[in-house]
Amino acid sequence: MQIVNIVDRIDDVNFGVRNAALCTAQVLKEKYGVDSQVWYPKSNEKKSDDIFFTAKPVEIEYSSVEYYNQLVNSLNINPQDTVIVSHGCWRVPTKLAKFLADKGFKWVYTPHGMLEPWCMKHKFLKKFLYFHAVEKRLVASASVVRAVSSVEMQHLEAKFGNSKIKLIPNGTFKIENSDKKLFNKPYTFLFLGRLNFKKSVLELAKAWQKSDFAYEKDFLLKIVGPDDGELSKIQQFLKTQEQKNLNIELIGECKVGEEKVHILRNSDFFLLPSKSEGFPTSVVEAGMYGLIPVISNGCNFPELFEKKYGIKVGTSENEILEVLNLIYRGLFDSTLQNWRHQSENLKTFFKDNYSIERIAEMQYELYSNLLLIK
């Protein structure tokens, strides 16, 4: 068996989708003997082999039917042992997957939250027309529509019907023998993700400046991630605070690996006041390290609130400010032992439910059923 993952870009701005698409490749290979490929449009950007895990990278062109036929023949894939998994909407992944489905391949369509209500409202008319005229018609050929969260599953069922929808969340690697989080000073609050307006990162910075945490040496807000439109606005805001020693550290893009691990190990709370997500792997990754999640409804993770493992926050500056001040008071009203206990419970919850091994098992079961492999 082999899996062909199709993505529309592989740069770090698309880290969440790219990582979700490929992070199970090694487990699928080692435990189940499944090979993986990743097809993506050609670009001049230099790429490290590490980002592909064990998936075979295949650069493709926006081209003709003749080209795609040659591609299929050259890679020796066939419908009997290959499943096509498209990631995202609107572009090449859907169109190319539809072409392959017409040739008899099983197709798993994975929108990764791009059809969520907030996303559809952004550029509403263009998306509404394209979805109903093109995208939905193409997706009719998909064997399965994969949801990555329980909330997204409900929304996709409304669009495509119940029979095609399969819930398989995103996951990340277990952190074996991770140190207990001590919650030492300075208490560090981490934003880790694309610096995009839908993440409300500028609102977060402004709320922090007005909060009880501001200018206190025992607290620190770290903002980490590649620019996706908001970096200059955050820099401009922080420049107005230069003389006041505001306790916000803007790190920008960090390297996947030791630098990222160091940041996660040395943070205490994870902030994501996002307006819309499919299912943010960053929350799972932070949870593996025991960071307390402070996230919005838009993160599509109601399970954290149901178990009282997460703190709910809104997306506006005032809503974020209100929750930050509640946490500030909570740090003094509760003993540190309570925070440490919650951190350890979080690590267990994420390891049991969202590890790469668990997600790969669910994927293998789905792919085997599609190919009628026992």
Residue 38 to residue 258: CA distance in whole angstroms: 25
Asked whether residue 137 is domain-assigned, the answer is yes
Residue bearing the bigger pLDDT, 14 or 279? 279
Residue 66, Cβ density class (10 Å: 0-12 exposed, 13-18 middle, ≥19 buried): exposed
What's the pLDDT at 142? 97
Q: What are phi and psi for residue 154, nearest 5 degrees?
A: -60, -40
Are residue 38 and residue 84 in the same domain, yes or no?
yes
Residue bearing the bigger pLDDT, 333 or 183? 183
Asked whether residue 179 is domain-assigned, the answer is no
- With a CB cutoff of 8 Å and minimum separation 6, the contacts of 226 are 12, 13, 15, 194, 195, 252, 253
| Per-residue pLDDT tens digits for 188-212 | 999 999 999 999 999 999 999 999 9
What's the pLDDT at 183? 82
Asked whether residue 38 is domain-assigned, the answer is yes
Residue 36: pLDDT band (50, 70, 90) is very high
What's the pLDDT at 374? 53
Are residue 27 and residue 37 in the same domain, yes or no?
yes
Asked whether residue 182 is domain-assigned, the answer is no
What's the pLDDT at 240? 87
**How is residue 114 written in tokens?**
């791009």
In percent, how much of the chain has pLDDT > 90? 74
Q: Residue 137 sits in which domain range?
A: 2-171+355-371
**How is residue 221 written in tokens?**
């807000």
What's the pLDDT at 311? 95
Residue 122 to residue 67: CA distance in whole angstroms: 34
Asked whether residue 181 is domain-assigned, the answer is no
Residue 208 to residue 229: CA distance in whole angstroms: 20
pLDDT of residue 178 exceeding 90, the answer is no
Are residue 250 and residue 118 in the same domain, yes or no?
no
Overall average pLDDT of the 69-76 stretch: 90
What's the pLDDT at 13? 72
Over the chain, what is the mean pLDDT? 91
Overall average pLDDT of the 272-276 stretch: 96
Residue 76: pLDDT band (50, 70, 90) is confident
Residue 126 to residue 123: CA distance in whole angstroms: 6
Residue bearing the bigger pLDDT, 338 or 192? 192
Are residue 340 and residue 211 in the same domain, yes or no?
yes
| Per-residue pLDDT tens digits for 239-264 | 988 767 899 999 988 877 788 889 99
Q: Specify the number of domains making up the chain.
A: 2
Are residue 161 and residue 216 in the same domain, yes or no?
no
Are residue 276 and residue 330 in the same domain, yes or no?
yes
Are residue 63 and residue 138 in the same domain, yes or no?
yes
Asked whether residue 178 is domain-assigned, the answer is no
Overall average pLDDT of the 119-128 stretch: 91
Are residue 145 and residue 134 in the same domain, yes or no?
yes
pLDDT of residue 359 exceeding 70, the answer is yes
Are residue 254 and residue 359 in the same domain, yes or no?
no
DSSP codes, 306-321:
HTT-SEE--SSHHHHH
In percent, how much of the chain has pLDDT > 70? 97
Overall average pLDDT of the 274-293 stretch: 93
Are residue 80 and residue 214 in the same domain, yes or no?
no
Q: In sequence order, which ranges of 213-294 are alpha helices (DSSP H)?
A: 231-239, 258-265, 281-288
Are residue 206 and residue 286 in the same domain, yes or no?
yes
The β-bridge partners of 293 are: 270
What's the pLDDT at 323? 97
Instruction: Name which of 74-78, 152-156, 299-303, 337-341 the model is least confident about.
Output: 337-341
Residue 102 to residue 99: CA distance in whole angstroms: 5
Interstrand relation of 165-167 and 248-252 (parallel, antiparallel or unpaired): unpaired
Sheet holding 2-6, edge to edge: 56-60, 35-41, 2-6, 82-87, 106-110, 144-147, 165-167
HSE, side-chain direction, 13 A CA sphere, residue 240: 8
Overall average pLDDT of the 168-183 stretch: 78
Asked whether residue 202 is domain-assigned, the answer is yes
Q: Which helix (H) or strand (E) holds 110?
A: strand 106-110
Residue 177: pLDDT band (50, 70, 90) is low
What's the pLDDT at 291? 95
pLDDT of residue 336 exceeding 80, the answer is no
- Domain at 7, CATH number: 3.40.50.2000
Asked whether residue 154 is domain-assigned, the answer is yes
Are residue 131 and residue 240 in the same domain, yes or no?
no
Please answer whether residues 342 and 334 qualify as being in contact, where contact means their C-beta atoms are separated by less than 8 angstroms: no
